[in-house]
Every structure is written in C-alpha cells, then in structure tokens.
Structure 1
Amino acid sequence: MSLNAYQNLKLSNKPWQCCVCINITRRRGDNTNTPVRKPNTLDESVMSCDVTMHQSEMECSVSAENHTISLQQFGVLLDSRLERFKADFFSDIKASIRSEIHLAITALKDEFTVTVDFLEEGQKRINGTLAAAVERVSELECNKNKLQGDIYELERRLKISEKTSRSMNIEIQAVPEKRSENVVGIFKKICDVINFPISDTEIHACRRVAKINSSSNRPRNILVTLPSPRHRDNILSAVRKFNKDNPKQTLSTFHFGYSGETKKMYIVEHLSPECKELHSLARRFVKDKAYKFVWVKYGQIYIRKDEQSSAVLVKNAEMLKRLL
C-alpha cells in the first residue's frame, strides 16, 4: 500500500484488511457452512496479515520519515552533501590549476628556450668580438713595444745630435741686460778678464736667448757659438782657472763695471732643456744631502759626496732617488 492510500484510509476510519482477506467471498446471512476458498499455503517467508500490516506500517513510517526528517539528520545529510561538493570542487580546482600550471610551464619553457637561444647567439657574437679584440690588443701591444723601442732609439739619437750641435756653444748666465748692449763686446771682455783673448773671426754667433721660465727675474742668457769644441773647452778651463786663482773675487759684474750690486756670473756648457732640468735636480740634491761637488762635463752631469768618494754620473732623476 502506498503512503497516500494509507493516509486516506486513516482519515476515513475504515478498517484495514490485507489482500488475502479482501479476496474471500462474502455472503449475506449465515455463512458458517459455506465453503471458502482454500488459502494459499505460505511458507515461513510469507508473513501473516498482522506481520504484513506491521511491515506496511513500518514502510509507511519510513516513507513518512523520508519526507519529514529531524534537524540532526538534515545536518548530517547537509554535511555529506557539502563533503561531496567540496571534494568535487577541489578536484575541479586541482584539475584547473594543474591545467593552468601545465600551460604556464609550457609557455615558460618556450620563452626560456627562445631567451636561451637569443643569449647563446649573443654570447657567440660577444665571444667572436672578444677574440677579435684580444687579437687586436695583442697586435697593438706588439706595435707599442716596437714603437717604444723606436722612440727610445730616436730619443737617444736626438740627445746625441743635440749634444753634438751644442758641443761648440757656451752659455753666459747672469749678465745684466741693457737696451743698446753689444753682446759680442761683452763676451770679448770676458775673454780678456780670464786671460783668453779671442778674435771676431772665432765668434760664429753671439746673442741673447729666450728664457725657459718666462716668469723668472734673471736676465736672458748669452749664447756664443765657437769654431770648435776645443775653443769651448779652452774657454771653460780658463774660467775655472780664473775662479780658482781668485776665490774671493770670482768672475762677476764687478769686473765689467756694472753699477749696483755685484752679482756672480757663470760660463757653462750649453745644455739641452732636459739636461738643465736634471742639472737643477742634481744641485738641489747636493745641497739637501750634504754632497760637496756637482759639475757638468761634455754634456754629462756628475756629483761627488766628498774628496775621497768617487764621482757618480747622473743619467736621470731615478738615480738621484736611489742615492737617498
């Protein structure tokens, strides 16, 4: 019996009968001796009318419970539904994320492959450029070493040439300047004072030269060109002899009648600007380090600590530093 039929039966207050009883033929009057249909033989599995009715009531009760459930049962059912929904939801999310990550990784791999290929190509170009640059640098270093050797050789030859070109010159320093002076007459008078007379024909050139340091207050030097290096050496020897013979009155403006303060005059070899600079450093070194002697001979600079020590040829400023 269905749930609706059972509920209608209860509402009509009619007695309920099982299907077996309904099939029995009903007769009016006294039906005691009336034969009835032989009922079907039921085995143990066939329930009686009461059992069948109880079962139907249970089914109806269960059916009714299926339509009206308690709050606890509703919570349990809702939890189970939510668990299934959550499991399905997370499964879908995981699948979606896995798919997106796979796509992202694939795209990243493609981009990384393109980037690596680009970098590799750039690295190859850089390596090629670097190899060419290294080769070029090596070539330039070889050229530089060769040029340095050539420059050193040219400097050496230039120094020799300058020394040779100056070998016939003498330089007169600290001679006061006058507006209309006769430098040839001054030189000839110097030669007379040192007792080494010279004729006009032996003087190839005599003139004032520009200052190396234009801010200096010293007068310009007088440069004299002689016929030969022998003439130069003889004049220098005569000057040294004169100063040695007259230690209290060495060659100065006093011997030429210049008015004013007496100033010492110097007659030296004509040196190149580099040699003059080195000579200045050597004089400063001798003064600071208590050396006694510094002199120039044949365009070369010498120093000596005292009378017992040997002379030292000063070739460059580095030698002076090593003597400290």
Structure 2
Amino acid sequence: MIRSPLKISGSVPDLSSEPHDREYITQRKRKHSSEYQELMDIYTDRIMGKLTEWKTEIGKTNNEINEKLATLASTSQDLKSEINSMRKEFTTIKNSVQELTTKHGIIQKDLTELQQSVQFNGDQQSDMANRIQALSKDVQTVSTFKSELNEIRKENQILRSQLNANDQRDRLPNVEIIGIPEVKGENLYKILEKMCLYLEVPVSSSDIMEVNRVSSRTKLEGRPRVIIAKMRSRQLRDSMISRARRSRITTRDIDVQGDVKPVYVNEHLTPLNKNILKRTKEAAKTKNYQFTWTKNGRIFTRKNETTQAIQIITEEDLKKII
C-alpha cells in the first residue's frame, strides 16, 4: 500500500530528490509509529489530489469523447442518409442507362433504316435530276412554242379584228328588223315599204337593194327569224333606225295580223360585235351606266349625260367600265 502510489505517474514529486524530506524520513524511522501514520496521510492526500485531478481531466476527456461520439453519430446518420440517397440515385441512373441502352438500339436501327432511305432517296434524286434535265429541255421547247403560240394568237386576233371590221363595213347599209312574225308567202319588200311609210322615211323600190330572213346562231323557240334589209345608202338606214326608236313601232302599225308585238330596227352587227354589245350592256347595268348604243357598227357606253363616252372594241375594253 505504501509503494503503489509512488509508481502511478511521473508527475508525482520525487521524494528522494528533496534532501530535507529524506533526512526527515531517516530521522523519523526511529520515531514512533504515529508519526509514520501522519506521513502516510500526507502522501495519501497528495495521491488523492492527483487522482482527483486525473478524474477531472478524465471526465473532461470523456465529455469531449462523448460529444465527438455524438457528432460522429450524427455525421454517421447523415452519411447513412446520403448513402441511401446515392443508392436511390444509382438505381435511377442504372434504370436510365438501361433505357438509354434500349433507345440506343432503337436509334441505331432507325439510323440504319434512315441510311438505307437516304441511299434510296439519293438514287431517286439522281433519277429525278435526269428527269428534271429532260423536262427542262421540254420546258424550253414548250416555252418556245408558247411564245410562238402567243404571237400566232396576236396575229389571229389582229386578223379576226380586221375580218370583223371588214364584215361590219359590208353590213353598214343594212338594217336588222326583229319581231315581225313569219307568214307563208310573205312579201318582205312590201312589209319594208309599209314600215318606211309609217316611219315617214321616203323610200322607193330601188332604195331596197336586198331583203331576206336570216336565222340567228341561237334560235329561240317561238321567235321569228330576223329580217335583214340592205339599203342603198347609210343615210337611209340611219333615218329608219332613228325614227323607229322614237316612234316605237309595232306589228299593228304595219298591218301584220295577229297579236300586237313590238318591232325593233337596229344596225346589222356582226356576231362578234353582237356578243360584245351584249357583254357591254351587262357590265353597264352592273356599274349603273345609263346609256349603251351603236353607231356605224361601233359600240359605245356612257355613265350619264355629263360623262365621256367609252368605245368598246374588244372584250378587254370592258375593263374600262368602272
């Protein structure tokens, strides 16, 4: 019991290094046992003090260790949670990799098919290029033909206009009479003379060069054929037309039996001019033009009495009616 405390730590004072204590002990060996007991108590108190210090230090160390263990436990829990999260992410990544692998296979297949398709399209494109080159030559040929056709159309239009003008010029002395019923064995000269008599237009048998009934291109059921009379002069023709329009002559005025019907006396227009006159009347009616008439085979229209007359020669001129 006396020697053990002296071996606990190097921090215990070395009693042999103190001469005073060593002398004291030597002297006291011969003394009474009570003094020896007092010495033991002193050493015991010193040892107990050191033990208390060690216990305090060990307690502090234990507290620090416990705190570090608690921190370590918390960190371990966080690491565990993080590891679990990483495992989930790894599982997700693994699944994604599997999906990507599957998609890669599909894409690889699609790329192969696309490559084949591109090759096929390339072959078709090459064939198409050859066709386009051939078509280009055909288009150039067609373009040449088209230009020639346009020239031919222009020339044809000019020729038609010239023929129409010549035909209309030949018809200038003629009058066209519409609305007189046909009667078997009728005398058209007598009918024309009665008409001129009613209109107070002086006329003799020599003034009427020729008179005939003519079928129209579009024959209408129930309508009589028109009468075409060729007069000796345009002045005589104009007099008949102007007076017939003013008097509004009817079949009764010229002693024609049957129902009373209006009789119209007009210029003898060519089929082309008749069609243009019809189109002009339709356009003029749509645009609220008040006047449409013919003079010497030419067609005119005017919006009102204060506006300038517009001559319509071809169907293109109908665009002038605005």
Task: Give 1:307 deviation, angstroms.
Answer: 2.2
Residue pair 1:170, 1:269 contacting (<8 A) in 2 also: yes
Task: Give 1:268 deviation, angstroms.
Answer: 1.2
> Cα deviations across residues 288-310 of structure 1 (Å, max 9, x unaligned)?
54433221101111122332222
> Cα deviations across residues 55-103 of structure 1 (Å, max 9, x unaligned)?
xxxxxxxxxxxxxxxxxxxxxxxxxxxxxxxxxxxxxxxxxxxxxxxxx
Cα distance change on mapping 1:124 and 1:224 into 2, 3 Å: same
Q: Which amino acid aligns with 2:153?
A: Q
Stretch deviating more after TM superposition (203-212 or 276-285): 276-285
Per the alignment, residue 232 of structure 1 pairs with 234
Cα distance change on mapping 1:125 and 1:242 into 2, 3 Å: closer
Q: Distance in 2 between matches of 1:275 and 1:132?
A: 42
Which aligned pairs between 1:263-274 and structure 2 lie closer than 5 A?
Answer: 263-274=261-272
Task: Give 1:191 deviation, angstroms.
Answer: 1.9
Cα distance change on mapping 1:119 and 1:295 into 2, 3 Å: closer
Q: Distance in 1 between matches of 2:301 and 2:155?
A: 31
Q: Distance in 2 between matches of 1:317 and 1:306?
A: 22
Q: 1:208 aligns with which of 208, 213, 217?
A: 213
Which aligned pairs between 1:107-256 and structure 2 lie closer than 5 A?
Answer: 126=131, 129-227=134-232, 231-241=233-243, 243-244=245-246, 246=247, 250-256=248-254
Q: Distance in 2 between matches of 1:121 and 1:319?
A: 50
Cα distance change on mapping 1:118 and 1:274 into 2, 3 Å: same
Q: Distance in 2 between matches of 1:117 and 1:301?
A: 63
Q: Which amino acid aligns with 2:261?
A: K
Task: Give 1:220 deviation, angstroms.
Answer: 0.9
Cα distance change on mapping 1:122 and 1:288 into 2, 3 Å: closer
Stretch deviating more after TM superposition (150-159 or 259-268): 259-268
Task: Give 1:123 deviation, angstroms.
Answer: 6.4
Per the alignment, residue 304 of structure 1 pairs with 302
Q: 2:275 aligns with which of 272, 277, 282?
A: 277
Residue pair 1:303, 1:312 contacting (<8 A) in 2 also: yes
Q: Which amino acid aligns with 1:240?
A: S
Residue pair 1:173, 1:222 contacting (<8 A) in 2 also: yes
Q: Distance in 2 between matches of 1:266 and 1:237?
A: 14
Q: Which amino acid aligns with 1:307?
A: E
> Cα deviations across residues 88-146 of structure 1 (Å, max 9, x unaligned)?
xxxxxxxxxxxxxxxxxxxxxxxx99x99987985685465334313312321231122
Q: Distance in 2 between matches of 1:153 and 1:134?
A: 28
Q: Distance in 2 between matches of 1:254 and 1:158?
A: 39
Per the alignment, residue 19 of structure 1 pairs with none
SS at match of 2:215: coil
Q: TM-score, normalized by length of structure 1?
A: 0.54
Cα distance change on mapping 1:170 and 1:291 into 2, 3 Å: same
Residue pair 1:171, 1:270 contacting (<8 A) in 2 also: yes
SS at match of 1:129: helix
Cα distance change on mapping 1:276 and 1:189 into 2, 3 Å: same
Q: Distance in 1 between matches of 2:130 and 2:136?
A: 10
Q: How many residues align?
A: 208
Residue pair 1:236, 1:268 contacting (<8 A) in 2 also: no
Q: Distance in 1 between matches of 2:241 and 2:228?
A: 16
Cα distance change on mapping 1:301 and 1:116 into 2, 3 Å: closer
Q: Distance in 1 between matches of 2:244 and 2:229?
A: 19
SS at match of 2:159: helix
Q: Which amino acid aligns with 2:165?
A: I
Runs of 4+ in 1 over 6 A off after TM superposition: 115-121
> Cα deviations across residues 253-285 of structure 1 (Å, max 9, x unaligned)?
121122343222111111111211222233344
Q: Distance in 2 between matches of 1:313 and 1:147?
A: 26
Cα distance change on mapping 1:267 and 1:274 into 2, 3 Å: same
Residue pair 1:170, 1:232 contacting (<8 A) in 2 also: no
Residue segments in structure 2 that go unaligned for 5+ positions in a row? 1-117
